[in-house]
């Protein structure tokens, strides 16, 4: 989630970072890497996946505003 936040923080000055932030979803969802498991099963932070999905939603809306296809 930190990488996504970093990419989104700098996407206004480097527009390609928006697409990279959205592409992270493929890595997170991939069974190959198992990154999604880091968003599940943490009792101290049970809403990590929900928070990440909300950030993806925001990034998608920015992309759509810029004429992208999100």
Domain that holds residue 57: 2-65
pLDDT digits (tens, 9 = 90+) for 16-65: 999 999 999 999 999 998 888 888 866 666 688 888 999 999 999 999 99
HEC readout, 27-38: HHHCCCCCHHHH
Q: Within a domain: residue 6? A: yes
Q: What would the two tokens of residue 33 be?
A: 């890497």
pTM of the model: 0.81
Count of domains for the chain: 1
Q: What would the two tokens of residue 62 be?
A: 């920015």
Q: Within a domain: residue 43? A: yes
Q: What is the C-alpha to C-alpha distance for residues 59 and 65, in angstroms, rounded to an integer?
A: 10
Q: What would the two tokens of residue 43 be?
A: 């009792």
pLDDT digits (tens, 9 = 90+) for 60-69: 999 999 987 6
- Give how far Cα 69 sits from Cα of 5, 43, 50, 61, 62, Å: 20, 35, 22, 10, 10
Q: Within a domain: residue 70? A: no
């Amino acid at each position: 989630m930190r990488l996504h936040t970093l990419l989104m923080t700098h996407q206004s000055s480097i527009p390609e970072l928006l697409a990279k932030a959205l592409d992270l979803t493929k890595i997170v969802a991939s069974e190959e890497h198992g990154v999604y498991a880091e968003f599940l099963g943490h009792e101290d932070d049970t809403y990590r996946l929900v928070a990440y999905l909300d950030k993806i939603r925001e990034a998608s809306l920015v992309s759509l505003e810029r004429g992208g296809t999100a």
